[in-house]
């Protein structure tokens, strides 16, 4: 009898304890309520954090009912606080009602790990995994519109932006990056986290669009879903991450989406501003080379809002691989006004290097199988980088 009473009392005690304790899900839900709007706040328990990456968040005072999210990733030597104060995303969040996530690197020097196998693998346990978990937490806590989740970054943050787009394509609808390198370019053969790769940084990692595309696809084997639209900024005189990385990054994403890198859809000089050249391979890949600009191109907040679709002039729909189109236009400026002429830039056979026209600084002008123009613009020389790639320097 005593045993039965003891069992009954134990069960009652457990019932009362469980009924007064906050369930894990409820506690997590209350955590979001403790994040003050209108200031940068740290979130310490956003879920699994295999690399020890810190999470900071900005929730606008004017939060949309189903808000979007922008993940803004800082540069080497930077912090979440520095990128919060030095970038326009918090102010833009108040205008458009989205949430900004500011990850902070756990490493000395605060560069991002874009070199280890863990970081370059979907759910591999590196920085990319931790950042993805920040997105998941925010999505659950704030009833986020999952068609409005984007990622951006500068320098090392731009490298991580490319890695996030490759390792977690299902999370993001678009990306904008400022002076980075292709996803996987900083890979460490020694599997070292947060490693520096001088070969890549100095623009010596030159390969084919197919190879770069294969590298990105290998970061999430078997994935066949939509991928984020990519907008790639780079400075033409960057001496930290050399401008060759601009072409290599554009090659990577052009291949991912099935575009012909050698036949862009359009090229516009002095766009989006004087001295910038915008090259569009299709609706999902756009490159913007800033002439005379070093490391790094200033953040173009309004351009990012266009690209992400917040301002109404862009598209936030994720693109599907293989959705490339062949029509092409070339835009030039004449006396301040733009003239657009439709031209065919698809290879039509013939020997390599038989294409007409001129190539601007840093553009491709030769290589095995190259059928595009070989004549560089005045002041530049077609220089061999490797058997597959020559460019105007």
- Structural contact between residues 196 and 263, judged by C-beta atoms closer than 8 angstroms: no
Sequence-ordered alpha helix ranges (H) in the chain: 2-20, 24-33, 80-86, 89-96, 127-142, 156-167, 198-201, 209-217, 244-256, 301-308
Pairing label, strands 54-58, 99-104: antiparallel
Angle at CA of residue 294, ends 74 and 206, nearest 5°: 85
Residues 6+ apart with CB under 8 A from 138: 46, 57, 69, 99, 101, 144
- Phi, psi of 177, rounded to the nearest 5 degrees: -135, 145
| CB burial string 95-122: b at 16+ within 10 A, e below | ebbbbbbbbbbbbeebbbbbbbebbbbb
In the annotation, is 66 catalytic? Answer: no
- Structural contact between residues 214 and 225, judged by C-beta atoms closer than 8 angstroms: no
The helix (run of H) or strand (run of E) holding residue 268 is: strand 266-269
- Structural contact between residues 157 and 89, judged by C-beta atoms closer than 8 angstroms: no
Q: CB-based burial of residue 127 (10 Å sphere; 0-12 exposed, 13-18 middle, 19+ buried)? A: buried
Catalytic residue among 155, 176, 271, 316: 155
- Cα–Cα distance measured from residue 279 to residue 268, given in angstroms and rounded to the nearest whole number: 6
CA 148 to chain centre: 14
Which positions are catalytic? 155
């Amino acid at each position: 009898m005593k045993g039965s009473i003891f069992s009954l009392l134990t069960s009652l005690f457990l019932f009362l304890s469980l009924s007064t304790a906050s369930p894990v899900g409820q506690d997590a839900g209350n955590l979001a309520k403790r994040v003050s709007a209108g200031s940068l706040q740290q979130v310490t328990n956003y879920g699994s954090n295999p690399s020890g990456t810190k999470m900071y968040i900005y929730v606008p005072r004017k939060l949309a009912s189903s808000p979007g999210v922008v993940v803004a990733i800082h540069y080497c030597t930077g912090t979440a606080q520095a990128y919060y104060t030095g970038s326009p995303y918090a102010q833009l969040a108040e205008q458009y009602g989205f949430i900004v996530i500011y990850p902070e690197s756990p490493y000395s020097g605060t560069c991002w790990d874009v070199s280890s196998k863990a970081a370059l693998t979907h759910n591999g346990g590196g920085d990319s995994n931790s950042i993805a978990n920040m997105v998941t937490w925010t999505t659950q806590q704030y009833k986020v519109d999952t068609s409005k989740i984007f990622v951006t970054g500068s320098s090392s943050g731009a490298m991580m932006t490319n890695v996030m787009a490759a390792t977690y394509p299902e999370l993001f609808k678009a990306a904008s990056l400022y002076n980075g390198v292709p996803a996987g370019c900083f890979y460490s053969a020694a599997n070292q986290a947060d490693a520096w790769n001088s070969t890549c940084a100095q623009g010596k990692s030159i390969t084919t669009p197919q190879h770069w595309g294969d590298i990105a696809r290998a970061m999430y084997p078997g994935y066949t879903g939509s991928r984020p639209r990519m907008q790639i900024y780079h400075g033409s005189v960057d001496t930290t991450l050399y401008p060759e990385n601009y072409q290599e990054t554009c090659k990577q994403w052009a291949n991912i989406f099935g575009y012909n890198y050698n036949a862009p859809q359009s090229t516009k000089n002095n766009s989006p501003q004087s001295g910038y050249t915008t090259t569009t391979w299709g609706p999902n890949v756009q490159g913007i080379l800033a002439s005379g600009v070093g490391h790094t191109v200033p953040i173009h907040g309004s351009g990012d809002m266009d690209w992400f679709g917040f301002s109404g002039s862009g598209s936030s729909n994720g693109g599907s691989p293989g959705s490339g189109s062949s029509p092409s236009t070339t835009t030039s400026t004449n006396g301040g006004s733009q003239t657009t002429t439709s031209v065919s830039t698809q290879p039509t056979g013939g020997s390599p290097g038989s294409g007409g026209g001129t190539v601007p600084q840093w553009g491709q002008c030769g290589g095995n199988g190259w059928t595009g123009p070989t004549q560089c613009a005045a002041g530049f020389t077609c220089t061999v980088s490797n058997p597959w790639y020559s460019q105007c320097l």
